[in-house]
Amino acid sequence: MLLALLLTVLTPLPAAASQPSETTTAATSATPLPSLKATTTQVAFGLRRPTAVVAPDDGTDRLFITEKSGTVRVYHPDTGLATTPLIDITSAILESGNERGLLGIAIPPDFAASQDLYLAYTARPNGAVTLARYRLDDSRLEVLLSQEHAEFNNHNGGQLAFGPDGNLYWSIGDGGGSADPLKAGQRLDTLLGKIVRVDVSRTCGALPYCVPSDNPFVGTPGARAEIWHYGLRNPWRFSFDSVDGSMWIGDVGQGRWEEIDHIARGRGGLNLGWSCYEGLEKFSGGDCPPGQTYTKPVFTYSPYTGGCSVIGGQVYRGQRYADLVGGTYIATDYCSSTVWALRPDGNGGYEHAEIGEMPTQVTSIGTTAEGEFYVVNDLPGGLHRVSFAQEEPTCRVDRTVQTWGTGTKVDLTLTNTGDTPVNGWTLKFWLGLGQTVVSDWNTDLTQLSNTVTATNASHNAAIAPGSTITLGYLASHTGDAAPPPRFMLNGDACAVGR
């Protein structure tokens, strides 16, 4: 996609309709996020474009992995990847285009007894996004719900997950193309650009499922009753925190902003902004119906960091690394492979840090029944176990800020807290929306969107262990004069002081 290279004037997003008001502290680590390091170990090879990974809670220690062509493979840590697929529905799948295929899988709470699985895919002949039940006991596929999606082959969504209320949630993209040409995000008469919520444990009349009576648009004229949230572009992956039941959504952006949303348990009917907003920024030419209240994302980042598509992840609730990352949300990006760690700060905001890299082209982050993390990557097609460790930052940045009117002056003190010299450096950091650098000192500084890259000057390229250098900049702003919240020195996250 083409990325605009000029920073535009940004319009603040209206107040959120709902954000989680309380943070569950059970099994939550106090380890500072910049002190975390995520690494991966490949445990299986030979997968063909895997798209999702889930685990049945049936005592078997298996993982189920969907492949884009329409197969579900089984992995066991003792015996590896089984050769014969558990499921093969390739005859039902339309795989044309990069984003079509078998996209999601969910395991119901009663799986051990029912042997039912739920699948999301794009169906022949026209690519309709489809929710189906697959009965393992007799290899039978039952279509439950379908949404036409013939105009474009991208933005199919595809995440399936059972919520803490026992209902099944399904994400569907806006119908594809560029800039929401169908204006689906803000429409309530289509399931495109939505998260859907249905009860698949029952049937209601002619429907092979039921619409929960407390769905937000039940009884709303012209609206699809299955809708839970709207205003989404391509929510490829979402998840529920197993402790507090809140929902985390990774919504893929148009080209300027990738976003992560966090919504309290039970709060439905929220408008997440697209295509009136992309991230926190007013989207040029977007659909902005009057009288709407939009819910802000809790985290955004620009593709100028090397990313292209956010891969929404999971909150870590396992035991092995609970003291390090318990209660921490982990996500990544398909192109940059950056590992993002987010955690509510207890004051209504969120801490965030880059804590490592995933393998190339990760498509999904899944967990075992015990809550340990695995990821699958698209090409060359592998399964990887995720580990976490504490690794103290080798740099610290302290900030001194002066603000007036529409201007701000920021002085940065960069300390080498490691035990090896730094010889030549690049410091990457991110500005608030609407901030534009006017001038800088002791560095060669460039800005693309909200991403700033500062490189050493000739006189301060070397930083001995324990030593500091200073640099800074002047910037204009349109209301947000906050200093940069995070810094990366030569690719490693820095601790942030005052």
Per DSSP, what are the bridge partners of residue 439? 474
Handedness of CA 296, 297, 303, 304 (dihedral sign): positive
Is the pLDDT confidence value at 4 over 90? no
Locate tokens 């200073």: which residue?
470
* Averaged pLDDT for residues 362-367: 98
Runs of H (alpha helix) within 380-420: none
pLDDT of residue 456: 98
Rounded to two decimals, the pTM is: 0.93
Binned at pLDDT 50, 70 and 90, residue 121 comes out as very high
Cα–Cα distance list, 207 to 63, 226, 451 (Å):
31, 12, 49
DSSP three-state, residue 91: helix
- DSSP, collapsed to helix, strand or coil, labels residue 304 as helix
Q: What is the pLDDT of residues 142-185, one digit of tens each?
A: 999 999 999 999 999 999 999 999 999 999 999 999 999 999 99
Q: Is the pLDDT of residue 24 over 90?
A: no
Q: How far apart are alpha carbons 475 and 455 in whole angstroms?
A: 18
Under DSSP, the state recorded for 181 is T
Please check whether residue 37 is in contact with residue 388, taking contact to mean a CB–CB distance below 8 angstroms: yes
Query: What confidence tier does 306 reach under pLDDT thresholds 50, 70, 90?
Result: confident
The pLDDT tens digits of the residues spanning 377-386 come to 998 999 999 9
Per residue in 283-321, is it b (16+ CB within 10 Å) or e — as a string?
Answer: beebbeeeeeebbbbbbbbbbbbebebbbbbbbbbbeeb
Rounded to whole angstroms, how far apart are CA atoms 463 and 489?
Answer: 12
Could you give the angle at the alpha carbon of 48 between the alpha carbons of 111 and 90, nearest 5°?
A: 65
3-state class (DSSP) for residue 84: coil
**Token pair of 286 as six digits:** 């977007």
CB atoms within 10 A of CB 238: 26
Whether residue 21 has pLDDT greater than 70 = no
Distance CA 217, CA 191 (A): 12
Radius of gyration of the chain (CA): 23
Of residues 179, 403, 381, the one with CA closest to residue 276: 179
pLDDT tens string 59-109: 999 999 999 999 999 999 999 999 999 999 999 999 999 999 999 999 999
Residues 6+ apart with CB under 8 A from 326: 27, 28, 29, 316, 317
> Average of pLDDT values for 117-122?
98
Pairing outcome for strands 102-106 and 116-123: antiparallel
Average pLDDT, the chain: 94
Q: Which of 186, 112, 181, 38 is nearest to 369 (CA)?
A: 112
pLDDT at position 2 over 50: no
Query: How far apart, in whole angstroms, are the C-alpha atoms of residue 308 and residue 454?
Result: 22
Asked if residue 19 has pLDDT above 90, the reply is no
Confidence label for 29 from pLDDT (cuts 50, 70 and 90): confident
pLDDT band at 498 (very low <50, low <70, confident <90, very high): confident
Whose CA is closest to 239, among 265, 201, 257?
265
Tokens representing 240 are 């529920």
Residue 6 binned pLDDT confidence (cut-offs 50, 70, 90): very low
Q: What average pLDDT does the segment 252-271 reach?
A: 97
Q: How confident is the model at residue 27, as a pLDDT?
A: 64
Checking if the pLDDT of 233 tops 70, the result is yes
Q: Is the dihedral of CA 434, 436, 441, 443 positive or negative?
A: positive
Q: How confident is the model at residue 253 (pLDDT cuts 50, 70, 90)?
A: very high
* Calpha distance 33→174 (Å, rounded): 34
DSSP 415-477: EE-SSS-EES-EEEEEPPTT-EEEEEESEEEEEETTEEEEEE-TTS-EE-TT-EEEEEEEEE-
Cα–Cα distance for residue pair 328/350, rounded to 1 Å: 11
Separation between Cα atoms, residue 393 and residue 493, nearest integer Å: 6
State residue 14's pLDDT score. Answer: 41
Q: Could you tell me the pLDDT band of residue 20, with boundaries at 50, 70 and 90? A: low
The residue type found at 62 is R
First to last CA, the chain: 38
Q: For residue 382, give the nearest of 22, 38, 44, 156 by alpha carbon.
A: 44
